[in-house]
Amino acid sequence: MSDERKVDGNSKNEQLEAYRVDDSGKKLTTNQGLRVSEDEFSLKAGERGPTLMEDFHFREKMTHFDHERIPERIVHARGYAAHGEFELYESMKPYTKAKFLQEPGSKTPVFVRYSTVAGSKGSGELARDVRGFATKFYTEEGNYDLVGNNIPVFFIQDAVKFPDLIHAVKPEPHNGIPQAASAHDTFWDFVANNQESAHMIMWHLSDRAIPRSFRMMEGFGVHTFRFVNEEGKAHFVKFHWKPKLGIHSTVWDEAQKINGKNPDFHRADLYDAIENGDYPEFEFGVQVIPEEDEFIFDFDILDPTKIWPEEDVPVKIIGKMTLNRNVDNVFAETEQVAFHPGHVVPGIDFTNDPLLQGRLFSYTDTQLIRLGGPNFHELPINRPVCPFHNNQRDGYGRHTINKGQVSYHKNSLARNTPEPATPSEGGYEHYQEKVDGRKVKTRSDSFKDHFSQATLFWNSMSIAEKEHIIQAFCFELGKVQNKDIQQQVVDMFANVNLEMAQQIADSIGVVAPSEGGQTITKVSPALSQENSTKSVATRKIAVLLDEGYDGDAVSDIVDQFKKQGMQPEIVASKLGTIKTEKGPQLEVDNTFLTVDSVLYDAVYVVGGAHQNESFQGKAGNFTKEAFSHFKPIGATHEGEKLLQDFGVTSLAAGVITEGDSDDFVSRFTEAVKQHRFWERDVG
């Protein structure tokens, strides 16, 4: 490998620097560089006359505006992204020759885009939905795209059914309703008639589908890929991203309200975290299976509706990704980035997963229409950090100016350059798998068990998580108008768990099944969010203040919250500072008009000596809603009396009172770390 291909962790940022423009303090020009003397009025024939087509500046400005929008992605339209770097912990040389996975300590620039699947670009971010988790590694061997989701399985097994799935979940064509929602007839009709979706539906109706933030959800490559080492030996591999903050979610009522209060909640959370220096971190893990063990499991390892249980195939943590820089321009970077599971590097290859095989076609096809032609790889966000040379020419959006008369292979005029690289020179070589079979349109019998792993998922949930899944079923099917579809779905999920199906049937008014279910008792603790890491870092705390509070004590508590890594914000009836009985006056961050309890992880009620009735009413609604969402509630000083007035008992789980000492802070911190108190009776 020549030196021209070597890159370091800053290479992508340095490359993008050439394209960044700061217009501040500059003179206005046309796109041709001509300085413009007037940008308020178009050229007219007389002061009250018609506009003249001679006004080239007006025509250029308006034409650009008229063409500023490109087609949104059919799926994953609502997205947000950030830059970062990936650092390798442990060499994967025994398994793969991919250079970015060889040297511990090496760093590779990355770009990550998170997204929802079903909604349009303008939809709310807290929809119950799968989340995309796509990572572009800018390696010295070319771009490698790990295009995954926050759920490790998918609805279907073969890509030919993907258009049907998306048509079913999108707004119904006769009325365009509902947007960014699966709670409607066509989606559940698809589910009932495509029972391979059973496992994915269990994930989709779990808390995983309404995450607290992008920073607190897992990522998965979904498919089975191959690692191939220098000796040509292959292993099957699945990829994982594990958030250092743990896996945490909202509750459904909260999610719906966030969509109304702040539909940009997830993107704002990611943007603010990076701006504040609270860089999101995800550890990178792999599950590896030797080729000779391909058939030893009770499921097909190539089936995209199946996981490899972590207790059977442990996840080996090999590196960490840190997102440390926001984009400079959302359109130029987040919207124009083009991912493709076929963007691989030597040492990473594909398997015969039929869903993966179809994606290898689909992604290039969609970029051609979205980005206007075959040169989308030349956009700054998509350009590899290593040089690229080939005989491709022309087309929409061409940036490269190729010199010379040759644009074909083979040739003698340019001494047959650019010439293919041998594998020892870094040339990509497909894994030589023996394939022998008749051309058929069918699937292997090993793909036909649709319920065992759905039951494994159910078995692995905590009591609260199971209740949330049942509630989600009842909500989704309660929105379905066709009774026959409701009945079909209940009968289908009796194959997962009979008691679950019977509870759903009772709620939505259909016939409860009397038989069904699996005899499987196996559990996988890794599937439950209850077993995830718990941390107070970056948790947002609403501090409810009114006039006459103890400035010394409250300032000290707020400072201690910050030292613990929490992010307290003062919420009051109006902006400015609030008068204190003693000590410093605190600056108000938000009012009850501008924020809501659903935008915070916990509430700390202080109140004030003046007992303002308006404050009490607003703070009461704020606190009671947080209590109903199972969040930690703290109170000191006048706040303890206010909790009684609000009807929030100090005896309830996660309600911390009694004093303003260090003990209060430590107990409240532990409560915030717990995140939710499902055992709480919220009436």
Catalytic positions, written as ranges: 76, 149
What is the strand order of the sheet 602-607 is part of? 590-591, 567-572, 540-545, 602-607, 633-635, 655-656
The residue among 369, 311, 312, 308 whose CA lies nearest residue 338 is 369
Cα-Cα-Cα-Cα dihedral of 121, 126, 130, 132, to 10°?
50
- The Cα–Cα gap between 452 and 80 comes to 35
Tokens for 652, please give them: 């309830």
Decide if 534 contacts 565 (C-beta within 8 A): no
Angle between helices 483-493 and 498-508 (to 10 degrees): 160
- The dihedral through the CA atoms of 405, 410, 413, 419 has a sign that is positive
**Residue 295 φ/ψ, nearest 5 degrees:** -110, 20
- Backbone φ and ψ for 527, nearest 5 degrees, come out as -80, -20
Identify the CA nearest to 166 among candidates 32, 33, 358, 431: 358
DSSP-H helix ranges across 276-410: 354-370
188 vs 132, 144, 196, 378, CA distance in Å? 22, 36, 13, 41
Beta-bridge partners for 226: 236, 349
User: Cα(210)–Cα(128) distance, rounded to whole angstroms?
Assistant: 5
- Distance from C-alpha of 638 to C-alpha of 658, rounded to nearest angstrom: 11
The answer to whether 450 touches 149, Cβ cutoff 8 Å, is no
Which amino acid is it at 305? T
Of 286, 271, 285, which is closest to residue 323 (Cα–Cα)?
A: 271
Q: What's the rounded Cα separation, in Å, for the pair 472 and 201?
A: 10
DSSP-derived secondary structure letter, 527:
G
Distance from C-alpha of 360 to C-alpha of 355, rounded to nearest angstrom = 9
Burial 329-343 (b: 16+ CB within 10 A, else e): eeebbbbbbbbbbeb
Q: Measure the CA angle with vertex 420, ends 414 and 425; round to 5°.
A: 120
Q: What are 673's two structure tokens?
A: 């770390």
Question: Cα dihedral sign for 45, 48, 49, 52?
Answer: positive
Cα 598 from Cα 595, distance rounded (Å): 8
The amino acid at residue 561 is F
Q: How many residues comprise the chain?
A: 683
* Contact (CB, 8 A) for 141 and 99: yes
Tokens of 48: 């009250």
